[in-house]
Homo-oligomer: A and B are copies of this chain.
Amino acid sequence: MINYPNGKKAVEQRQKFVEKANLGSSLEDDLNKTNLFYRQHGVALIYKKPTPIQIVKVEYPARSKAKIVEAYYKQASTTDYNGVYKGFAIDFEAKSTKNKTRIPLKTIHEHQIEHLRQVSYHKGHAYLIIRFSVYDETYLLEFESFERYLNEVKMRSIPYEWIKENAYLCKTTFLKPCDYIGGIEASLQKKGVMTHE
């Protein structure tokens, strides 16, 4: 490697960036892959919603398609994932943490909590999917359990141990790297809702 004056720092920063990018996209990739499997095998119909973009300027080059030349990321008003499983409306937000002992609540935004609350109010089934990347473990947490925790415990994070006890561990296989549907099935049974089958 050529030793540029600030070579080491640049490499470190790049590694940091790559690490973060991997962690950030990995849960999303795993969910996309799993959802694709669910769709292709008729298990469930769950999609990630597109990221909302504020479009400012579009150009129309002759004979070619519209080109967006100025746009910005917008804050979503809902969660990232929703769909249908056995007639049930399913909605969830997915978060990943590198922390070994707890997930900080600041990673879950107020508008996401409010949206999940609304889903639950309308008798849909709302969840959080939480990954502890150091353990490579992903949990499906019922929104109602999460909200009880928020109301009872005055902490700014949820301990790993609490999640281990109160959420459903997702299975991991090559084709379904974040297999959460077993957790949803168990949650629906626990809630005692009728299946529509």
Q: Which of B53, B84, B196 contacts A68 (CB 8 A)?
A: B53
- Chain B residues with Cβ below 8 Å from A196 are 123, 193
- Taken together as a complex, chains A and B put the C-alpha atoms of A80 and B26 apart, in Å, by 27
- Taken together as a complex, chains A and B put the C-alpha atoms of A66 and B82 apart, in Å, by 27
Question: Given A44-B122, A89-B87, are A69 and B66 also a contact pair (CB < 8 Å)?
Answer: no
Minimum distance in angstroms from A112 CB to a CB of chain B: 13
Closest to A77 in B: B47
Minimum distance in angstroms from A90 CB to a CB of chain B: 8
Residues of A participating in the B interface, judged by any CB pair closer than 8 Å? 39, 42, 44-45, 47, 49-53, 55, 65-74, 76-78, 82-91, 118-119, 121-124, 193-194, 196-197
Minimum distance in angstroms from A76 CB to a CB of chain B: 8
Q: Determine if A124 and B84 form an interchain contact, defined as CB atoms under 8 angstroms apart.
A: yes
Closest to A123 in B: B87
- Chain B residues with Cβ below 8 Å from A66 are 72-73
Q: Which of B47, B67, B197 contacts A72 (CB 8 A)?
A: B67
- Chain B residues with Cβ below 8 Å from A78 are 47
- Taken together as a complex, chains A and B put the C-alpha atoms of A87 and B91 apart, in Å, by 12
Q: Determine if A122 and B87 form an interchain contact, defined as CB atoms under 8 angstroms apart.
A: yes
Q: Which of B68, B119, B121 contacts A71 (CB 8 A)?
A: B68
Instruction: Choose among A39, A50, A67, A74 the residue with the greatest number of B CB atoms under 10 Å from its CB.
Output: A50
